[in-house]
Amino acid sequence: MLRSSILIGLLVVLPSVILATDSTYYFVKWDPNSDGIILEMIETLSDSSQTTPTGFSVSTETEINAAGYMTPSESYASANSEDIDEGVSDGYSWGTWFTCETVSGIKRVYGGSRTGRTWLPGYLYLLARNACVSIPNPWPRILFKSDSTYYRTWGWNTQWVYLRQYSSVLTYTWQQKGWHKWSSDGDPQYTIVQRRY
């Protein structure tokens, strides 16, 4: 009886200790040619500090919202179910999504991918690609992030969002792909979503 009481006590206390040290880190890539326009965002929930990725700057939820944008978590929460491809299995989660909105005559498309863990923090590997296909001619494809390097972090969840903005009189077909792993030599889960907006 004492052993089971101790075990129950550990199960109750341990999650609160882990969650108390978790922090959300935001990194933003600003458009160098336009003031206040965000091109890409990374959001990581982790129990340890994160290194700023090359080409990005440290940001906050408040700064992102003040610039008029949703954070990666907010864009994921706003996505329609038909614009999400996701899964959960054996303590791992993964997903890819689109969120679209029109603000002051400008269309905004958030194309995001995420790799996560549901049991314990650990390594997260995410490769996200975003492509725009003009209508009516599907070629040539405009590919954003053409390299095949996985972004590696430590923690619970990493999300990478590409943000595209253009006149509301234009319509494009967007494609977002995600490759998700939990070890460097593991087989990836693959997600893909396509959206015309």
In the chain, where the domains are located: 23-196
Separation CA 65–CA 41 (nearest Å): 12
Across residues 104-113, what is the average pLDDT? 95
pLDDT tens track for 32-63: 998 889 999 999 999 999 999 999 999 999 99
**Please, what is the Cα angle at 41 between 193 and 108, to 5 degrees?**
60
pLDDT for 9 = 38
pLDDT tens track for 152-197: 999 999 999 999 999 999 888 899 999 999 999 999 999 999 999 9
Asked if the model's pLDDT at residue 14 lies above 90, the reply is no
Separation CA 71–CA 63 (nearest Å): 10
DSSP H/E element including 145:
none
Segments of the chain assigned E as strands: 23-30, 38-46, 57-59, 84-89, 92-103, 106-117, 122-134, 142-144, 151-155, 157-167, 172-181, 189-196
Instruction: Give the DSSP per-residue string, 96-127.
Output: EEEEEEEETTEEEEEEEEEEEESSS-EEEEEE
pLDDT for 83 = 96
DSSP summary character for residue 47: S
